[in-house]
Amino acid sequence: MNGSSVLRKHSLKNVLSIFESRFFSSTSEATFETKPFKLHKLENGPSTTVTLSSEDAIKYYKQMQTIRRIETAAGNLYKEKIVRGFCHLYSGQEACAVGMKAMFRDTDSIITAYRAHGWTYLMGVDPFSVLSELTGRKSGNARGKGGSMHMYAKNFYGGNGIVGAQVPLGAGIALAAKYLGTGGVCFTLYGDGAANQGQVFEAYNMSKLWDIPCVYVCENNGYGMGTSSERASASVAYYTRGDYIPGIWVDGMDILAVREAARFAIDYCSSGKGPLVMETATYRYSGHSMSDPGTSYRTRDEIQEVRQTRDPITSFKEKIIGANLVNIDELKQIDKEIKAQIDDAVKRAKADTEIPLSELSGDIYAKPLETKVRGVSPFESLEHIRIGQAVNLN
Amino acid sequence: MAFTISFHKPSALTNTVKILKRSLNTTRVLANKQMTVRDALNSAMDDEMERDERVFILGEEVAMYDGAYKVSRGLYKKYGEKRVIDTPITEIGFAGIAVGAAMAGLRPICEFMTFNFSLQAIDHVINSAAKTFYMSAGLVNVPIVFRGPNGAAAGVAAQHSQCFGAWYSQCPGLKVISPYNSEDARGLLKAAIRDPDPVVFLENELLYGNQYPITDEVLDKDFVLPIGKAKIERKGDHITFVAHSKGVELALDAAKELSSVGIEAEVINLRSLRPLDINTIIQSVVRTNHIISIEQGWPYAGIGSEISAQIMESEAFYHLDAPVIRVTGADVPMPYTKSLEIAALPQINNIVDAAKKLLGV
């Protein structure tokens, strides 16, 4: 994967780079070549020639680096026993999310599984709110009631804890887009582990029958918990497993490749051709969740090798510096800012308070029909209260 | 019965024959229109689809076949394939699609050919539909109706004869409705479709073809019944029968039989299982001092168990002259054998006998 995207042409070399402002790079645009896409039942795929502006380069770098920092902070908070229960980290997979999000229009939606922190941030939620959800505090995205796996935003339907269940849900979100004529598509994400769930194939079938604009994205990080994809799947060519649904294999460690595939997928699905499957080949550095050291079913060397040769952030950084889209000082400054931002968010997420006990019986129903909710004994009657802005109330 | 009920309230029985059958006004009933439960459900969906473009039906055989039990008859012709969608036989998939569509702003009616098959999809009913509003701290509500026939049909054996009332009622976040007659079916289904929360709507196949009198008010396009409110189907002072769905029919028949021996039973039609209208039950028990719950579902952790527990925890307990008794389906999987099937389901005489035992007559 190393060097899969190489600098192809870059005509303008600015010899006076030493005098440049640290906030502006010498080149405003560069072109790269991605690793070839593998196609299933498609005559043409995404373009392997990718153009990137310096503005976008900085944006993507910032987004990927922010996700990495959020996840590092989440891992630390877990080790400090401040984050409870489950905590699944996205480190190593950042290019998948940032690449897709880069192409989203206002009408496009996304639903994912339980590795949701990065997506929540990308869909507009402040890192402080993501981290506060992890610490279970009131400034959390779901007021601390959802935790690591259940966060939401406009066009972002979570954060789902049941492996594979989000797949038909995503098809349903896409069905709604078609029904309402919004022109949007739904990116429906699942891992290589969930790819074997029966309901995935039920959703494939119906979405193809009904030409639902759903982009099924199998983020193949190589392992479903501790079972490698080869040990769990009779076919690991996940992009072909929609059978009658066309598919694309994408280098999920290259944000530009993912972006091009997402561009293609949106065009394809919103032109009425029905669903598409997209496999992003990626890797997770951490264990499945925090209770998994991630070393019994794979070697430390394997993880180290990916970190050194395929890391989505490092490789992108080298690429954009090499193309003179940004300079190293600029990136150092960004790193510093992100670190400060996340450090501050962590501090506030720790200091924040939990919601009051009265919210135990809050928002069970959008239209509650009873005012009283039973507590742990008949002597502990609770009051149903409404707090959140139910989006489908009327 | 593991114990003998020896205590009763004879005083209540002494003045039994006072208001015998006065309340039955047959001329009014005859003047009313009749409607089957099937047509009541069908007209409810038709009304709501006309009223709100976002309402659509999906499920197995709902469109071209006109519904496995003909509940959606004619709707495909009227509304077309966009709004009446035949699905393959893949419950978890189409239930998940329906929930996703509801999250994204539509108002799906997800038909299970029978609720037995909802077990294939129960994860989406419970984990995707019921819990999302709470987990999202009140952001993403899921306006969906899961409906279809529930409970025992006739001669279809164990896998196709089960009541899911207790199963779904246990989960906070769901509203669960179990209608009895045409008025219930029409008023409550319309209310369920308009409701912004997930509703499980448990119909009964054996009641689909039954005709019940309905008024013009029930036929009105804006007629809805409140979810969570029970209805007293029959007034009585000696004992309370509380039932839902087919159980209401049994309770009414038992009450009629008891009336001939001077026992007047009050029959409460629960209509909703969650919320449970416990206040109506308590008020009745305070007057009658005796209560029997009647359901076709299993006894273990059933609807009757819940009613019994809630009575124990309420002031009604102090008004009881006898323990709460449950008349339920037997604690066995449903046999195909005809004689055994009858023995596995509550019959009128079971209720009559239980009532007499309770009242000490």
Interface touch B93/A180, C-beta < 8 Å? no
Could you tell me the pLDDT band of residue A15, with boundaries at 50, 70 and 90?
very low
Q: Chain B within 8 Å of A360 (Cβ-Cβ)?
A: no
Whether the predicted pLDDT of B314 surpasses 70: yes
- The predicted-structure confidence for A354-376, as pLDDT tens digits, reads as follows 999 999 999 999 999 999 999 99
CB-CB under 8 Å, B132 with A168: no
pLDDT band at A295 (very low <50, low <70, confident <90, very high): confident
Q: What is the mean pLDDT of residues B235-255?
A: 98
- In chain A, what's the furthest Cα-to-Cα distance? 79
Listed in sequence order, the residues at least 6 apart from B98 whose beta carbon sits closer than 8 Å to its beta carbon are: A172, B58, B108, B110, B124, B144, B146
What span, in angstroms and rounded, lies between the C-alpha atoms of B83 and B106?
A: 11
pLDDT recorded at residue A374 = 96
pLDDT of residue A67: 98
Average pLDDT over residues A166-182: 98
- CA–CA separation, A238 vs A250, rounded Å? 11
Q: How far A314 CA lies from chain B's nearest CA (Å)?
A: 35
**B244 belongs to the catalytic site:** no
| pLDDT score, position A326 | 96
> A289 falls in which pLDDT band (50, 70, 90)?
confident
Residue B1 has pLDDT above 80, yes or no: no
Please report residues of A whose CB lies closer than 8 A to that of B312.
Answer: none
The pLDDT value given to residue B30: 52
Instruction: Check A172 against B97: CB less than 8 A apart.
Output: yes
Contact with chain B for residue A21, Cβ under 8 A: no
Closest partner residue to A392 (CB to CB) among B95, B196, B226 is B196
Kindly provide the ipTM of the predicted complex, given to two decimals: 0.93
Omega within 30 of 0 (cis) for the link into B275: yes
A1-5, A100-104, A243-247, B122-126: range with lowest mean pLDDT:
A1-5
For an interface test with A, give the residue of B60, B82, B103 to mutate (most A CBs within 10 A). B103
Note which residues in 104-133 of chain A have CB less than 8 A from chain B: 109, 111
First vs last Cα of chain A: how many Å apart? Answer: 50
A363–B105 C-beta distance less than 8 A: no
Burial of A303 (0-12, 13-18, 19+ CB in 10 A): middle
Cα–Cα distance measured from residue A222 to residue A227, given in angstroms and rounded to the nearest whole number: 8
Instruction: At A377, list the tokens.
Output: 């004994």
Q: Quick check: A25 and A324 in contact, CB under 8 A?
A: yes
Q: Is the pLDDT of residue A296 over 50?
A: yes
Q: Is A244 on the interface with B (CB under 8 A)?
A: no
Predicted confidence band of residue B20 (pLDDT cuts 50, 70, 90): very low
Average pLDDT over residues A29-42: 97
Q: State mean pLDDT over B106-135.
A: 98
pLDDT band with cut points at 50, 70 and 90 for residue B31: low
